[in-house]
Amino acid sequence: MSFLKEIQRRRTFGIISHPDAGKTTLTEKLLLFGGAIQEAGAVKSNKIKKGATSDFMEIERQRGISVATSVLAFEYNGIKVNILDTPGHKDFAEDTFRTLTAVDSVIVVIDVAKGVEEQTEKLVEVCRMRKIPMIVFINKLDREGKDAFDLLDEVEQKLGLSVTPLSFPIGMGYDFKGIYNIWEKNINLFSGDSRKNIEETIHVSDLSSDDLDTLIGEQSANELRDNLELVEGVYPEFNKDDYLNGNLQPVFFGSALNNFGVRELLDCFVEIAPKPRPKESEERLIKPDENKFTGFVFKIHANMDPNHRDRLAFIKIVSGTFERNKPYLHVRNNKKMKFSSPNAFFAEKKQIVDISYPGDIVGLHDTGNFKIGDTLTEGEQINYRGIPSFSPEHFRYINNADPLKSKQLYKGIDQLMDEGVAQLFTLELNGRKIIGTVGALQYEVIQYRLEHEYGAKCTYENLNVFKACWVDPEEVLTDEYKEFVRVKQRFLAKDKQNQLVFLADSAFSLQMTQQKYPSIKFHFTSEFN
């Protein structure tokens, strides 16, 4: 197959949702359609079970599973589908944000009873800002939930989206009869039997015909006619360009658990979802069909075996082909590297591959050369951007609890930060190290991993920080800037990239500082120019 055809047949996406909305279940059903797995239950949930915050075995189990499910690939109707896993737990939200830099589109799963939940709001906001095309899947229609129109309103209002339903439910919960597929103009009747109902698609060419009444009963038929009329009147007609530009989000209804409405979603997805898209680098826009390979690291996973400290760096291929044993430039280190065993992912297996195409993810064994955001090329100086750090929510001093192991401790901290587990800040005043995280769970993960993988012990000390604010560097030092640095020295730190950060201890003090030093610009993410 030609290079261009290979690009055109790839769809790389992520599924995002609030925990429990049905992401794992939907992923599994998609894999079943792709023939990538044979039975339900094969995809392990990577979520951390409730109440397991201090259960380290649970954290390790979760890490093991998340290697296996980092990328799930399958073929469907000649299309190569790559699903990138995104952790739903809020403490790992930053992982999800980074993975979103490697997807070309997303599917948002919403629970019909719970509606739009907190984590969905945060993740969709990131996708909206980046104009990532989104399809919404409203799940669990076999249960009682909110009215479909109310839900569509909620999605528009809370998520700031502009939706158009491409399918519509007939009844719900106990009365759930099936789904009218607006996209394909047919009805899929729900029998409650997940093995049977896949085939039961009935084409409906004329909604006003009596056949519809016979099929689903007069009352349901009239309700459906009314609802579809309302849909047509209220929502814009589906337009692929609007969807691809992030301006319109099609909505599907279904029940992942019952494998209902999933085939319709998948059929539409492979038809409309974007093929690998061009990506902006600091230097220029890179197109997938360029001959020369470029790619970037969006995730690093430590080896589960503490005796081998090698890691797996996940690279998204942006342009050209990635070939085994070919030398590539590691741009940040300015070093040529060859990879003899790049891994590709197929369902839950990984295997060594000779060649991979744009949209694909390869896993490279790494002994500590890679950081999140690193770029590989055939020689061109290109730096992909768009993997910013957000201000952490929690801050703690990290102390060395075993003076004989300080080298191990610093090496461990360094590598865990490269993996993106948390952020490190070093106080300007005394060099003390502060770990900033999105959730409290990360502190336990770090402590556990430092001990088990690096043989180092640490303790934490609370620190009152409201927000980390990155300070715009000054080329010419103004008096105001000098005064700011002098007066606020106690609150200033450097991040791992040596950027100056102001650790404001309260919203009030941040506001006062901004007022007092109006010429200094503060940013709430690490990437601002």
CB of 119 to ligand G4P, least distance (A): 10
Compute CA 467 distance to the chain's CA centroid, rounded to the nearest angstrom: 23
Measured from the CB atom, the residue of 143 and 432 that comes closer to ligand G4P is 143
- Pair 360, 84: CB distance under 8 Å: no
Closest approach, Cβ 160 to ligand G4P, in A, equals 22
Contacting ligand G4P within 23-42 (CB under 6 A): 23-25
Alpha helices in 13-139 (DSSP H): 23-33, 56-68, 93-99, 118-129
> For residue 388, what are its two tokens?
């910013």
Binding of residue 17 to ligand G4P (CB under 6 A):
yes
Reading the block at residue 244, the tokens are 């691809």
Per CB under 6 A, the list member of 6, 94, 104, 142 interacting with ligand G4P is 142
Q: Directed axis angle between helix 262-272 and helix 23-33, to 10°?
A: 70
Three-state secondary-structure class, residue 154: helix
Q: Which is nearer to ligand G4P, 45 or 303 (CB)?
A: 45
Residue 143 near ligand G4P by CB under 6 A: yes
Choice from 70, 86, 181, 255 touching ligand G4P (CB under 6 A): 255
Q: Please tell me whether residue 389 binds ligand G4P under the rule CB under 6 A.
A: no
Asked if 178 is part of the footprint of ligand G4P (rule: CB under 6 A), the reply reads no
Q: 22 or 320, CB closer to ligand G4P?
A: 22
| In the complex, least distance from residue 279 CB atom to ligand G4P, rounded to whole angstroms | 28
DSSP 444-466: HHHHHHHHHHH---EEEEE---S
Number of residues that bind ligand G4P (CB under 6 A): 19
CA atoms within 13 A on the CB side of 374: 25
Of 63-92, binders to ligand G4P (CB under 6 A) are 88
Q: Which stretch binds ligand G4P (CB under 6 A): 61-69, 240-248, 250-258, 415-423?
A: 250-258
Q: Minimum distance from CB of 106 to ligand G4P (Å)?
A: 14
Q: Chain centroid to CA 128: how far?
A: 13
**Residues annotated in a binding site:** 17-24, 85-89, 139-142
Would you count residue 257 as binding ligand G4P (CB under 6 A)? yes
**Binding site, annotated residues for GTP:** 17-24, 85-89, 139-142
Q: Which of the residues 449 through 478 are near ligand G4P (CB under 6 A)?
A: none
Written as six digits, the tokens of 526 are 């690490």
Task: Give the strand pairing for 10-17 and 105-111.
Answer: parallel
Q: What is the dihedral of CA 112, 114, 118, 121, to 10 degrees?
A: 20
Options 134-142, 204-212, 264-272, 461-469: segment touching ligand G4P (CB under 6 A): 134-142
Considering only 3, 8, 44, 45, the residue that binds ligand G4P (CB under 6 A) is 45
Q: Which CB sits closer to ligand G4P, 7 or 262?
A: 262
The distance of closest approach from Cβ of residue 415 to ligand G4P in the complex, given in angstroms and rounded to an integer, is 29
Among 6, 20, 419, 495, binds ligand G4P (CB under 6 A): 20
Residue 132 sits at φ, ψ, to 5 deg, of -75, 130
Of the candidates 7, 9, 12, 21, which one interacts with ligand G4P according to CB under 6 A? Answer: 21
Q: Give the residue ranges of DSSP H helices in 165-301.
A: 210-216, 218-234, 240-244, 262-272
Angle at the Cα of 179 from the Cα atoms of 110 and 233, rounded to 5 degrees? 85
Which of 14, 22, 171, 363 is the binder for ligand G4P (CB under 6 A)?
A: 22
Cα 355 to Cα 6, 132, 144, 342, 424: the distances in Å are 11, 27, 48, 9, 36
| Angle separating helix axes 441-454 and 406-418, nearest 10 degrees | 130
Instruction: Using the rule CB under 6 A, give the single segment among 140-148, 334-342, 392-400, 483-491 that binds ligand G4P.
Output: 140-148
Element (H or E) spanning 3, and its range? helix 3-8
Structure tokens at 509: 């003090």
The Cα 60–Cα 66 span in angstroms is 10
Residue 156 C-beta: closest distance to ligand G4P, Å: 22
Interface positions with ligand G4P (CB under 6 A): 17, 19-25, 45, 47, 88, 139-140, 142-143, 255-258
